[in-house]
Structure 1
Amino acid sequence: MTVRAMLTCAGLIVALTFTALNSLAQDEALDGEALYTERGCIYCHGPAGREPALPDYPKLDGQNEDYLVQQMKDIKSRARDNGYVGMMQPAVLNVSDEEFAAIAAYLAAQ
């Protein structure tokens, strides 16, 4: 195999790897969108986290992904127990860490 052919193959492998990783990230965001609706987040925080039902509810779109995950975990564990989070605690009780991550990825991408 010539050097040129090897470099072409290596370039193709790198391109396919990045395409696959990007596809995985998009799948996570799509799953997050479905979970956001299925878990009822949409009812208080609005479509894509942009239009909360009440002025005191936070807008979630475009927030930092790690921040969102930590807030959801803190609400679930009751480490955060202020404001309206008492209403949210039952909603997040059966949400897994993986689901938190998918929802956060979706919201951060908005």
Structure 2
Amino acid sequence: MKKTMLMATLLSLTSFAAVAGGDIEAGKVAVKKFDCASCHGDNYSTPKDPSYPKLAGQHADYIAQALKAYQRGGDVANGRANATMGPKAKELSNTDIQNIAAYLHSLPSELVLKK
């Protein structure tokens, strides 16, 4: 009985971790659906405008929090205002955000620290 309960607990924790971390393949589909490459570049490391961020390899938590901040908008605490990203982010579900963040994090990064 104890062994069965332990297994059930471990399986539920593993499932929760997988969901909380996002699904990379679903994220790959989502970035195409929401046309992220139109601004951030085909490989998400060569944005169409130098003021746009490189997303490939970025920390998943950062991407998720940034998307949630765009959803909140610039008029509230911890919100971000952007005429393009605000409406785009509002279309995303929490699952979309986690999946997109997981996918972008999984990509090879061209991010470089300046010395």
TM-score, normalised by the number of residues in structure 2 = 0.67
Counterparts of 1:69 and 1:48, CA distance in 2 = 19
Aligned to 1:42: 37
Q: Superposed, which structure 2 residues align to 1:6-25 within 5 Å? A: none
| Ranges of 4+ aligned residues in structure 1 off by more than 4 Å | none
How far does the alpha carbon of each residue in 1:57-96 deviate from its partner, in whole angstroms, 9 at most, with x for none?
0000111101100000001111112xxx221111121210
Equivalents in 2 of 1:65, 1:97: separation in Å? 13
**Aligned partner of 1:69 among 64, 70, 83:** 64
Q: CA deviation at 1:48?
A: 3.4
Please give the alpha-carbon distance, in whole angstroms, between the structure 1 residues aligned to 2:91 and 2:56. Answer: 23
| SS at 1:89 equivalent | helix
Matches within 5 A, 1:1-110: 28-78=23-73, 79-81=79-81, 85-110=82-107
C-alpha RMSD over aligned residues: 2.1
SS in 2 for 1:95: coil
Runs of 5+ in structure 1 lacking a partner?
1-16
Shift of 1:28: 1.2
Quote the Cα distance in structure 2 between the aligned partners of 1:44 and 1:94: 17
Structure with bigger helix share is: 1
Secondary structure, counterpart of 2:31 in structure 1: helix
> Which has the greater radius of gyration?
1
